[in-house]
C-alpha cells in the first residue's frame, strides 16, 4: 500500500504502508532500542503518539505476545525503516497490524526524521495509509491537537478497582496506564495489590488500608492527572509513596514542584543514569515530560540524574516516605540492577 507521513513543519515522506488503510495523527516520537518493539507499541504511555523506531529492522522475531505491556497496541501508528517480511516466528508485525486494524509505514528514512526531531523537537504528525497526498498529510498534522491538550489517561486506566491478592505488603496502585511488568515486579515480591482507576478518591484508596501508594506510568501531560495529584497531596505523610515515570511527575506536582515538556524526550533501552553514590546504570525510559529539579521542596533529595542531559531521574523524601524514579526499573535496561534496587526498597521502606 502507498502511505505518507506528514509533519507540522511542512515535511512529508512517502513510503509503503502496512496494516490497514486509514488515517491517524499524533506526536511523532522516536525510540532507540534494538529489540522490544512490541513492548513499546503496547505500552499505554505511547497513547497519542506515533512511534518511530531508530533501529533499521523491526519485526525480525515476529510478535512476542508474552511480553506485551497491555492487551493492545496503544501507539497511534508505527514508523520503521524496514519491517521483516520473514520473521523468525509468526505472526509478522505486518500481519499482526493487518489483523488488528493498525496503521504503519516503512521504507522511509527514519534516520533523517530522527535528526529532524532532535533539532526541532517532537512535532505533530499525520499518517495516511492508502494515500500519498503529502500536502494533505501536513494539513492533518497541523490541525491535530497537541499532546498537552489531550486527556489521554482516562482511555488507558482501568475502569473499576480490582485486586491481585498476595500475602505481603498491601499496596494501592493508581493505574494511569500501568505496564504489565510493573505489576509483575510487585507481585513477585508477594505484594497484596489493590489497583484503582485514575479518578479514585483518597477515601476509596484509604479504605483498603494500604501501606504504600504506588503511582504508575501513563500518557500525556502529567498536569492533566488532576485526580491522582489530589490523592497524593491528601495522603502525604500517611502512606509511603512510590512512583515510576508519570508517577514521579505526579508526585512532584503534588509536592508543589513543576514539570516541563522536554524537547524530544527519552525513549529507549540505553539511557545512562548516575546514582547519587556515583554508580552508573543503563535504563529503559519512555517520557517526554520531566520534573524541574530546581523546584523540588525542601526535604527532597535527588537520587538519580541522567548522564546525557542532566535531567532528574529520581528523588526521595525520607521524612515523607517518598521514593520515585523517572526510568523503568521493571524493564531491565541492563542487568536486573535497578529492578532489585527500586522494588526491594519499596518493601523495606525508604532508608
Q: Torsion-angle region of residue 303: left (phi > 0), alpha (psi -120 to 50) or beta?
A: alpha
SS3 track for the chain: CEEEEEECCCCEEEEEEEECCEEEEEEEEEECCCCCHHHHHCCHHHECEEEEECCCEECCCCCCHHHCCCCCCCECEEECCEECCCCCCCCCHHHHHHHHCCEEEECCCHHHHHHHHHHHCCEEEEEEECCCCHHHHHHHHHHCCCHHHCCCHHHCCCCCCEEECCCCCEEEEECCCCCHHHHHHHHCCCCEEEEECCCCCHHHHHCCCCCEEEECCCCCCHHHCHHHHHHHHHHECCEEEEEECHHHHHHHHHCCCCEEEEEEEEEEEEEEEEECCCCEEEEEEEEEEEECHHHCCCCCEEEEEECCCCCEEEEEECCCCEEEECCCHHHCCCCCHHHHHHHHHHHHCCC
Catalytic residue among 227, 287, 328, 332: 328
Of the residues 245, 266, 287, 313, only one is catalytic, namely 245
106 catalytic? Reply is no
For residues 175 and 55, is the Cβ–Cβ distance under 8 A? no
Catalytic residue among 39, 131, 313, 330: 330
- Residue 328 appears among annotated catalytic residues: yes
Retrieve residue 201's grid coordinates. Answer: 478518591
Residue 287 annotated to the active site:
no
Q: What would you measure as the largest C-alpha separation in the chain, in angstroms?
A: 59
Q: How far apart are CA 265 and CA 347, in angstroms?
A: 30
Q: Report, as residue numbers or ranges, the catalytic residues.
A: 245, 328, 330
Amino acid at each position: 500500500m502507498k502511505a505518507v507521513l506528514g509533519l507540522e513543519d511542512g515535511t512529508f515522506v512517502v513510503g509503503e504502508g502496512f496494516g490497514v488503510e486509514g488515517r491517524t495523527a499524533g506526536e511523532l516520537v522516536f525510540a532507540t532500542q534494538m529489540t522490544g518493539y512490541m513492548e513499546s507499541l503496547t505500552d499505554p504511555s505511547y497513547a497519542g503518539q506515533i512511534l518511530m523506531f531508530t533501529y533499521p529492522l523491526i519485526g525480525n522475531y515476529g510478535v512476542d505476545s508474552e511480553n506485551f505491556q497491555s492487551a493492545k497496541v496503544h501507539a497511534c501508528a508505527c514508523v520503521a525503516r524496514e519491517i521483516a517480511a520473514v520473521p523468525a516466528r509468526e505472526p509478522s508485525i505486518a500481519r499482526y497490524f493487518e489483523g488488528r486494524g493498525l496503521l504503519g509505514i516503512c521504507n522511509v528514512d527514519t534516520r533523517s526524521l530522527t535528526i529532524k526531531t532532535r533539532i526541532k523537537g517532537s512535532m505533530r504528525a499525520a499518517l495516511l495509509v492508502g494515500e500519498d497526498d503529502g500536502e494533505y498529510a501536513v494539513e492533518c498534522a497541523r490541525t491535530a491537537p497537541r499532546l498537552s491538550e489531550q486527556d489521554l489517561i482516562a482511555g488507558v486506566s482501568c475502569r473499576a478497582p480490582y485486586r491481585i491478592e498476595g500475602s505481603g505488603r498491601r499496596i494501592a496502585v493508581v493505574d494511569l496506564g500501568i505496564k504489565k511488568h510493573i505489576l509483575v515486579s510487585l507481585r513477585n515480591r508477594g505484594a497484596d495489590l489493590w489497583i484503582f482507576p485514575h479518578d479514585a478518591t483518597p477515601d476509596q484508596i484509604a479504605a483498603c488500608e494500604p501501606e504504600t501508594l504506588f503511582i504508575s506510568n501513563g500518557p500525556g501531560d502529567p498536569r492533566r492527572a488532576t485526580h491522582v495529584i489530589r490523592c497524593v497531596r491528601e495522603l502525604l505523610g500517611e502512606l509511603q509513596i512510590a512512583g515510576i515515570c508519570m508517577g514521579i511527575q505526579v508526585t512532584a506536582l503534588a509536592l508543589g514542584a513543576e514539570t516541563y515538556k522536554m524537547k524530544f524526550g527519552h525513549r529507549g533501552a540505553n539511557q545512562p543514569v548516575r546514582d547519587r553514590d556515583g554508580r552508573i546504570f543503563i535504563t529503559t525510559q519512555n517520557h517526554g515530560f520531566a520534573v524541574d529539579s530546581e523546584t523540588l521542596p525542601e526535604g527532597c533529595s535527588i537520587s538519580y540524574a541522567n548522564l546525557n542531559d542532566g535531567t532528574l531521574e529520581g528523588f526521595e523524601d525520607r521524612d515523607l516516605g517518598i521514593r520515585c524514579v523517572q526510568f523503568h526499573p521493571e524493564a531491565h535496561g541492563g542487568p536486573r540492577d535497578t529492578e532489585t534496587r527500586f522494588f526491594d526498597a519499596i518493601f523495606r521502606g525508604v532508608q
